[in-house]
Structure 1
Amino acid sequence: MKVMTIFGTRPEAIKLAPVIAALEATPGVVSRTCVTAQHRGMLDQVLDLNGIKPDHDLDLMRPAQTLDAITAALLTGIGDVLDKDTPDRVIVQGDTATAMIGALAAYYRRLPVSHVEAGLRSGDIYRPWPEEVNRRIVSTIADQHFAPTTTAAEALYRESIDPATVHVTGNTVIDALLATRDRIAAEPAMTKGLDLLFSRFRQRRIILVTTHRRENFAAMTAVAEAISAIAERRDIAVIFPVHPNPNVAGVMERMLKGRDNIAMIPPQDYPHFVALLNACDFVLTDSGGVQEEAPALGKPVLVMRDTTERPEGVEAGTARLIGTDPQRIVAEANALLDDRARYDAMSRAHNPFGDGEASGRIAAIVAGRSPIDSLR
């Protein structure tokens, strides 16, 4: 069986790297990879870290590209790759344009599709936008749905997806996170440079901030106001890997530059990000993946969104939805800083997103074998 894994962004690469490794270790499977480079530099970091040399690299990233332009380029580019490589199955991950178009291009060729991280739903097609619709489209095409949780599986059942095609595997990001944490412990040089940053903020509680969501671009000024207000406290430090999109970087540079307890740093490679996550007290984010990663390390998550496709974290108590109103963000951050019982309740809550064995389960099912165990 020849299996083509298609991805284009850093989050996809992080979550698919352990799947690709598991496929390569599975007898009877020929693993092929196609990257679209929907994100170029940040994608290459993860490829290098995991020793992935793509069989096809479409290199489609362009400055200020529109959704229309990237969608058209993806459809023709991925279509050409599928015609030349003739795989037996296609694997896509999550909710990106690459995932949606990869599934669509496979469908046009009557190729079966496996969807990693299937079943996430916010219930609002504009939040997150356009990701919510992207993943719904993939679900109508795929014949293997790898749901990270029972909640995700139940969302698929409500959409009349055949239960026999839905497999609760856990989320592969936990596989990647735990493996990377162990590598860092064995090779501390992987995160060189962070010791200087941590020494600068010794004896301060660290808040890690990430924000990049397209639907939050209009709220970036409000988010910056909140970060600035939180940083009035002298017992904390903010570490903020700033997304390079001008809608994010431009606002943050203008409003936060020069604060001695705010470190605005470039986007970090995955080992450095895992080290930051491990070192912080809690996370302020609009990221989907961070909502899964942080609880695995015992870090509370304040989610700067009004909805989430990962309600399991909110239900388990590892995450709180707080929106983008500056006063609410400041109040929630201060509550975690000042109320130890509140902090401990979130920090010690059960992580619902997996046990680090999802990729092996996925590879076994793709190869037509029964996985050794299941999260069901």
Structure 2
Amino acid sequence: MTAAEQVETGRAVRRGHALRAGGLVLALAALVLVALVSVAVGAKSIGPGTVVDALLHNTGTPDEIVIRSLRVPRTLLGICVGAALGLAGVLMQGLTRNPLADPGLLGINSGAAAAIVVGISFFGLGSASEYVWFGLLGAAVAAVVVYLLGSGGSGGATPVRLVLAGTAVAAALLAFVQAMLLVSPTTFDQFRFWQLGSLAGRDLNVLGSVVPFLALGALIAFTLARPLNAVVLGDDAGRALGAHLGRTRAWGALAITLLCGAATAAAGPLTFIGLAMPYVARAIVGPDHRWLLPYAAVLSPILLLAADILGRVIAPPGELAVGLVVAFVGAPVFIALVLRRKVAAA
């Protein structure tokens, strides 16, 4: 390559970085806008001026109380949960080298569900803030079991083994959950509201319980950006590039457990977000995890908050659980994106 070609290549790389950075800024601006709408929209619509005034000043008005005690915690939790699911999805797809993998493949959602069912049945849990610790414990235990099963034998924890172990553990835990719900109608009545996935009724106590786990999981995820770029090239290529495959998969599994486990414990099993938004981010910025991770962390809460807003206004004076809205609205859009990319690649 000549000197002129090297200079031109460097300029192209810098332009690409500038475009990606600009896109990320626009996505952050969109997230702020959606968050403001989330605070303003509900059973009672509140004007933008009132929202800003309530956020900046402790006025003591009924609108300010609603905004500070209900809508702000709900919106903040939506941002944290959405970002966590997006990051977990990127990690899962990178570790398995499957762009359509879901964080639930490691059995984390099933582990959280099983622990919460046990908590409701035997310990009388009755609120979202009480579910969090049981959900986190169940997610952690399930992830450890899956990793131990997937890393047994020669070759260590390969992507195929982890997925197979996760599928088996999830199936066993799902059977346990169904059995518990069948023998206890009271447990079923309480559990079904959590199982739908919702941001409603979560206060700052719930947010404070999960934020440390989400922050640690996010920190681990971003430190794995470069190793994941080597892992997705395959085991041989990854080793040739100096990546420690076992270490990367272990840390990745830990990050997924923290992110997906805490998010699931707080808001219920919100499917689709961890599958679709990393795919959308990859379509925008390509396979580089240094950009995939921040894009997924910003785009995912935009989808989650938008679905939550739609759930509040689609059936007044009640609302639909955000898990239902995400599935019904997001799935057709995701299918259209997949089909469009297939047609373009044909």
Q: Where on the TM-score scale, by shorter chain, does this alignment land: which range?
A: under 0.3
TM-score normalised by the chain length of structure 2: 0.24
TM-score normalised by the chain length of structure 1: 0.23
Looking at both structures, which has the greater relative contact order when contacts are Cα pairs under 8 Å and sequence separation is at least 6?
2
Of structures 1 and 2, the larger Rg is shown by 2
Instruction: From the two aligned structures, give the one with the greater helix fraction.
Output: 2
Instruction: From the two aligned structures, give the one with the greater strand fraction.
Output: 1
